[in-house]
A and B are shown apart, each in its own frame.
Chain A
Amino acid sequence: MSENSAPTKVANEYERERIPDAELKGSGKFWGMYSGEHAAGTEFMIGPLFLLSGVSLYNIFLGLLVGNLLAVFSWRFVCAPIATQARWTLYYHLEKIAGKKLVKIYNLANGVLFCFLAGAMITVSATAVGIPFNLEMPAFDAIYPSSVSFVVIVLLVGGVISAVASVGYDAVSKFANIAAPWMVLVFFACGVVALKQLGVSSWAELQAIWTDSIQFAQGGEVTTSMGFFEVMLFAWFCNSAMHVGMSDLSVFRFAKKASSGWATIGGMYVGHYMAWIAAAFMLAAQIKLTQSADPVPGPMAFNVVGIAGIICVVVAGWTTANPTIYRAGLAFQAMLPSASRLSMTLLAGGIATVAAVFPAFAFKLLGFVGLYGTILAPMGAVIYVDWYFSKRVGITPFYAENSGSSVNKAVLFAWVLPVAVALYFIFAQGATTWYFVLPAWLACGVLFLVFSRARGAQRV
C-alpha cells in the first residue's frame, strides 16, 4: 500500500500519476469488464424486492430501461470525459481538491458502507449454503436471525469469506474472472425457467399472474411504494457512487477515449436489466409453486435451476463480498496506518459477518443502495465542478494541492451539509433514500462553488 489514503490492491499501478499512453486500452476491454461485473450477488435480492414493493410489470420493464440508460449517460458524459483527460484515480484527484485528511474520511465512510454491503452478500450466500442442511430461512420482515443454525451458517460463511479476503485476494480475483460468463448465463437460465414455471403464454397473462403474486406477497392487497419514476431513479442511482460519484475515474483513466463509457451498457442491460427481471420472475414462480413470498435467494434459485442455482448464489455472493471486504479493510488501514492489512481486513470481515446475521440488511437492500449513493456520490460533484467551472468562476482549481491544505473546508461543508439534510429526511422522516442522490449531488456542487468563491480566488 502506498502512503496514499486511498489505495486499492488492484489499481496500485499509476496510483499517483497519469496513465502513460502505452497503457491505454480500447473499448473492448471495458465491454467485457462491465458485462461480467454487474451480474453479482446483489441482483438476486434486488429483482424480487421490486415484486414485494408492488412495482407493476410495465414500470419494471420501462423504468429499468430508462433508468439504466440514464446511468449509462452518467458514466459516458460525466465520469468518462474527466477520466480520459485527467487520467487519475478518484482518490488522487479528490486529494488534490479536498486534501489528504478529508479523502481519508471519505474513504472511511466508503469502507463502513462496504461492510454492510458485504454483509448482505454473506446473507445471500448463506441462504444457499443452508439448503442441504434444511436451514430455516428468515422471513421477509425478519430483523433478527431465524434460528441458531442460521447464525452458525452465516458465521461460517462470513468467516471463510473474510479469511480468503485477507490472504487470497488474487485467487478470488481469478475465480471471479472465471465465474463471470457462467454466472450471466445462469441468470438468463433462471429467468427463462421461471417464466416457464409461471405458465404464461401472453403479456396479459404475465401481467395477471404478476399482479396475483404482488397480491399474495402483500397479504391480499396490491399497494405500491414504487412507480415508474421511483424505479427509474433507483436504476439510475444504484451505482451513483461509481458514475456521478466518480469512483470509476479509476477505471476509465485507462480508456483511450471517453466513448468507452458506452461499455457500461453491457453491465446495465445484462446485470441491471436481464438479471433483475430474471430474479423478479424467480420470486413470482416461487410464489406460484410453493406459496412462499420470502425473497431468499438460495431456495429461489434451487427451485428454478437446481444445484447449479445454489452454486450460482454462493459464487455470486462470495465474489461480490470478497473484494468488498478487502476494499473496506484497505479503507480502515488508511485510517490506522500502523495496523496490518490482514487485521484490518479481518475487522472489516467481522463487521460484515455480524451485519449478515441480521437478514434485515439484505432485505432492505433497495433502501441501503440509495443511502450508499446519497452519502458517497456528492463528492463526485466536487470533482465535476472543480474540473469544469473553477477557472470560469474564479476559484482555485486543485485548491488543496496548491495551498498545501489537508482539509479543504469548502469541500467538507459542501459534502456534509446536503448529506446531513438528506440523512435527516431519511432517518427522521422515513423518506425514500434514492430521492436524495441527485439533490445532494447538485447541492454539493453548488455549495462547493459558493464556499470556494466566498474564500476568494487564490492563485497559489
Chain B
Amino acid sequence: MMKKISKWLGLLSLISIALVPIAYFFDLLEFSAMTSILFVATLLWYMTAFLWIGKPDDANLESDPIL
C-alpha cells in the first residue's frame, strides 16, 4: 500500500515539475511560487522514489561514463 501511494506521489511530483514552469511561462504563477513548488516537488520525488525505485534492474546496460 505504502509503495503504491509513493508511486502516485512521485508521479504527481514529476508532473508538477513539468507543469509548473509552463504555468509560469503563461503568467499563471509568480516566480517565487514556481520555485517553491519546484523545491517541494523535488523533495517529494526523492522521499517517495527511494521507497519504490531500486537499483537499475539492468545494471549490465550501464555503459562507460557518458557526456
Contact = CB atoms under 8 A, between A and B. Distances in A.
Interface of A: 8, 10-11, 13-14, 23, 25, 29-30, 33, 37-38, 40, 42, 46, 110, 114, 117-118, 170, 173-174, 177-178, 181-182, 185-186, 188-189, 192-193, 195-196, 238-239, 241-242, 247-248, 250-251, 254, 267, 305-308, 311, 320, 323-324, 327, 369
Interface of B: 14, 17-18, 20-22, 24-25, 34-36, 38-39, 41-42, 45-46, 49-50, 53-56, 58-67
Nearest to A42: B67
A196 B66 CA distance: 30
Contacts of A10: 59-60, 62
Given A177-B56, A193-B25, A308 B65 contact: no
A29 to B, nearest CB: 5
Given A173-B62, A196-B24, A40 B67 contact: yes
A25 B58 contact: yes
A110 B36 CA distance: 42
Nearest to B52: A178
A13 B34 CA distance: 45
Nearest to B41: A308
Nearest to A15: B60
Contacts of B17: 182, 185-186, 189, 308
Most chain B CB atoms below 10 A, which of A37, A173, A254, A306: A306
Given A193-B21, A306-B39, A307-B39, A181 B14 contact: yes
Contacts of A177: 53-56
B65 A117 contact: yes
A226 to B, nearest CB: 17
Contact of A110 (B42, B46, B64): B64
Given A173-B55, A188-B18, A305 B35 contact: yes
A182 B42 contact: yes
Contacts of B66: 37-38, 40, 239, 242, 267
8 contacts: A13-B60, A178-B49, A188-B21, A193-B25, A238-B67, A251-B63, A307-B42, A323-B62
A189 B41 CA distance: 12
A182 to B, nearest CB: 5
Contact of B38 (A25, A196, A308): A308
Listed residue (B18, B21, B55, B64) with the most chain A CB atoms within 10 angstroms of its CB: B64
Contacts of B34: 193, 305-306
Given A37-B66, A193-B24, 10 more contacts: A14-B60, A174-B55, A177-B56, A178-B45, A182-B17, A188-B21, A196-B25, A254-B60, A308-B41, A327-B65
B67 A192 contact: no
A366 to B, nearest CB: 11
Contacts of B49: 178, 182
Given A308-B38, A311-B42, A185 B59 contact: no
Contact of B63 (A173, A248, A369): A248
A308 B56 contact: no
B42 A173 contact: no
Nearest to A369: B67
Contacts of A114: 65
A178 B67 CA distance: 18
Contacts of B62: 8, 10-11, 33, 37, 173, 251, 323
